Amino acid sequence: MKPRIVHGLEAPTHIARVLSPKGIYPAQSTQFSEGVYVADKELCFSLVTYHEPYEEDPYSEVQWLTVSEIRTYGALMLAVNRELGGYSAFSPYPVSLSLNCPSVPDMITWASDYVKPILAEELSRPGVL
């Protein structure tokens, strides 16, 4: 079952976000309770559960990230073994896609098969980046 891009007032189930090639990312894809991080040589991205934004929060330079995205990126950054020289630096694009996605057992493979092509197509549109 393919994801569907959400437009208008309809509430999405997930947010998909491409990670800039300027970042340094873990080489292994990982699944969390609120989403997945997909490591791919062509395109790294995250697909996380959608949560309504909190309007009362103070502004920050990453205001456009959702709570689920911040939790996912934070967990990945903390999981790096710094004693072995591990390092990660996340650089998410401020462009995301709101999607309605089914619940599937292997979300990493599903996201690679179905979400990655949608994100790649979005990135190829003029004026996106």
Give me the count of residues in the chain. Answer: 129
pLDDT, tens digit only, all 129 positions of the chain:
889 899 888 889 999 999 988 888 888 899 988 889 999 988 999 999 988 766 665 555 566 778 788 888 877 877 766 666 566 778 888 778 999 999 998 999 999 999 999 999 988 888 776
Taking the C-alpha atoms of residue 3 and residue 46, their distance in angstroms, rounded to an integer, is: 14
Domain ranges of the chain: 4-124
What pLDDT was estimated at residue 46? 94
Which has the closest alpha carbon to 39: 64, 31, 15?
31
Q: Are 18 and 45 in contact (CB under 8 A)?
A: yes
Taking the C-alpha atoms of residue 97 and residue 18, their distance in angstroms, rounded to an integer, is: 9
> Sign of the C-alpha dihedral, residues 103, 33, 120, 53?
positive
Taking the C-alpha atoms of residue 28 and residue 39, their distance in angstroms, rounded to an integer, is: 6
Q: What is the DSSP letter of 20?
A: P
